[in-house]
Amino acid sequence: MKKYLNQIVDKKLNYGRHHIKRFTENIPDQSVVVDLGAGYGDDLFVVKSNNSTAELVAVECFVPYQKHLEEKKVRVCSVNIEREKLPFADQSVDVIISNQVFEHCKEIWWITHEISRVLKVGGVFVLGVPNLASFHNRILLMFGIQPTSIQNNSAHVRGYTKNDFLKFLNSGFREGYSLQGFGGGNFYPFPPFLAKPLASLFPTMAVGSDSASNSKSI
């Protein structure tokens, strides 16, 4: 069954990059765009496709990724986001992206505090996380099987749903953010031609949850 799913499911859709493109299509020229856990920089380049003047900054600790990003002329900062301050001045960043990172982190209060410190008022925070309430996870739980987004033998240490993350954000940063957009990425166990429309129709049951929040006040 797993082999069959790997053959028909396009896991690249999990990252919801079409939503990142949508959420950042109206950013100002020369925006400073920071990606926490940038990997190869795919999300940054999606933003660059919207605005060629954007300044791209990757926060990334993995050396092979750093080298790749530097070759692509992306500024790289090596920071432990769970322990260290982000190397940016207060209210100096226009867009912050964190895509498929928060589920790996314990210290989300500290990370979100630092995001809130450096993000400009009116700036955009784009978050992508695996959806604990996805369709396939609900089916797995019904049969007593651990959800894929929070398996104990994986690198994931937290599980997320849309409403719970918004509750977290509002409890710690009350009235600091307003939700501007939300979308789902991928829909297991279906191939792309079905997964895309299903994720669009039922975003809270998609594999990945992608949201964009505007910072109103710090």
Q: What is the CATH number of the domain that holds 202?
A: 3.40.50.150
Ordered mean pLDDT values, 10 residues apiece, the chain (218 residues): 74 95 95 98 97 97 97 97 97 97 97 96 96 97 97 96 94 90 96 96 96 74
Q: How many helices (H) and strands (E) does the chain have?
A: 8, 7
Measured from the Cβ of residue 12, the count of other Cβ atoms closer than 10 Å reads 12
What was the pLDDT predicted at 212? 87
What was the pLDDT predicted at 67? 97
Separation CA 37–CA 42 (nearest Å) = 11
Total domains, the chain: 1
Alpha-helical runs (H) found in the chain: 2-8, 17-23, 42-50, 63-71, 108-118, 135-142, 162-172, 192-201
Cβ–Cβ < 8 Å for 113, 184: no
Cβ–Cβ < 8 Å for 128, 20: yes
Separation CA 98–CA 59 (nearest Å) = 10
What was the pLDDT predicted at 198? 97
Say which residues have a Cβ less than 8 Å from residue 55's Cβ, sequence separation at least 6: 30, 31, 32, 33, 75
Alpha-carbon Rg for the chain, nearest whole angstrom, is 17
- Which of these, 98, 57, 62, 125, lies nearest to 208 by C-alpha position? 98
What was the pLDDT predicted at 172? 87
- Which of these, 123, 130, 145, 103, lies nearest to 215 by C-alpha position? 123
What was the pLDDT predicted at 218? 42
CA distances 100 to 11, 54, 104, Å, are 12, 22, 8
Domain range spanning residue 201? 2-215
